[in-house]
Amino acid sequence: MGFFGSLDGRVVAAPSILSADFAHLADEVRRAKSGGAELVHFDAMDNHFVPNLTVGPVVAASLVRATDLPVDAHLMVENPDNLVPTFIEAGVNSISVQPETVTHLHRLLVMIREGGCEAGVALNPTTPPEAIEWALPYLDYILVMSVDPGFGGQSFIPEMADKVRRVREMTDLPVQVDGGISEKTAPLMAEAGAQVLVAGSAVYKGDPESEMRKIVAAARHAAGQA
């Protein structure tokens, strides 16, 4: 069973490498792991779906070799179908795609799972949860974006806590949240039922170990798991 399938209700956190120092990626991940991170969130951006450009499967493969944490790829790219096979080959644990970029979502989710990865979808702030209702049997997790994808350091959109609640009414699948997550906002999302908290700038703005630790503690406390 994969990372998301084994969570069993536990609240966990992941650093987003987008705000890390890319010249020292393995070390940046190691420091977040010392603060309690259990997953690494890997943001791939293409300057088409989002107006930013980051890294792809080659860097993912290096990171997979350099860390013992599972690597979770969040694809913010047009035509993710072209990249999914190489991310699978790179050895990532899980791949989430933005349904706004996919024509044949069912086929793509099946491809991700058949490649041995867990499959997720990432919902933009105004994409309704109902858009993925018929995809639920093919999913291992749902990512609720709490900012518009593209950049780190944006402001948390507070209505997204209600969206997490709505998703939780639809399904028991683990909900991941991404965007503006900090020691202050993580509890709001954990209270709403989010289980996997992704944080970029809040972790790498200071000492990743202590910043990660604060976010994990705040989220677990809110979820009654302290």
Given the rule CB under 6 A, which residues bind ligand DX5? 16, 18-19, 41, 43, 74, 147, 149-150, 152-154, 178-181, 198-202
Answer yes or no: 43 catalytic.
Answer: yes
Residue with smaller CB distance to ligand DX5, 74 or 220? 74
Residues 152-181 that bind Zn ion (CB under 5 A): 178
C-alpha gyration radius of the chain: 16
How would DSSP label each residue in the chain? --TGGG-TT--EEEEBGGGS-GGGHHHHHHHHHHTT---EEEEEEBSSSSS-B---HHHHHHHHHH-SS-EEEEEESS-GGGTHHHHHHHT-SEEEE-GGG-S-HHHHHHHHHHTT-EEEEEE-TTS-GGGGGGGGGG-SEEEEESS-TT-SSPPP-TTHHHHHHHHHHH--S-EEEESS--TTTHHHHHHHT--EEEESHHHHTS-HHHHHHHHHHHHHHHTT--
Answer with the entry of Zn ion, ligand DX5, none that 181 interacts with (C-beta below 5 to 8 A by kind). ligand DX5
In the stretch 51-90, what mask flags binding to Zn ion with x, by CB under 5 A?
-----------------------x----------------
Smallest distance from the beta carbon of 190 to Zn ion, in angstroms?
A: 18
The reply to whether 98 sits near Zn ion by the rule CB under 5 A is no
Residue with smaller CB distance to ligand DX5, 106 or 210? 210
Answer yes or no: 178 catalytic.
Answer: yes
Answer with the entry of Zn ion, ligand DX5, none that 201 interacts with (C-beta below 5 to 8 A by kind). ligand DX5
Residue with smaller CB distance to Zn ion, 17 or 108? 17
Residue with smaller CB distance to ligand DX5, 35 or 149? 149
Q: Which residue is nearest to Zn ion (CB)?
A: 74
Catalytic residues: 43, 178
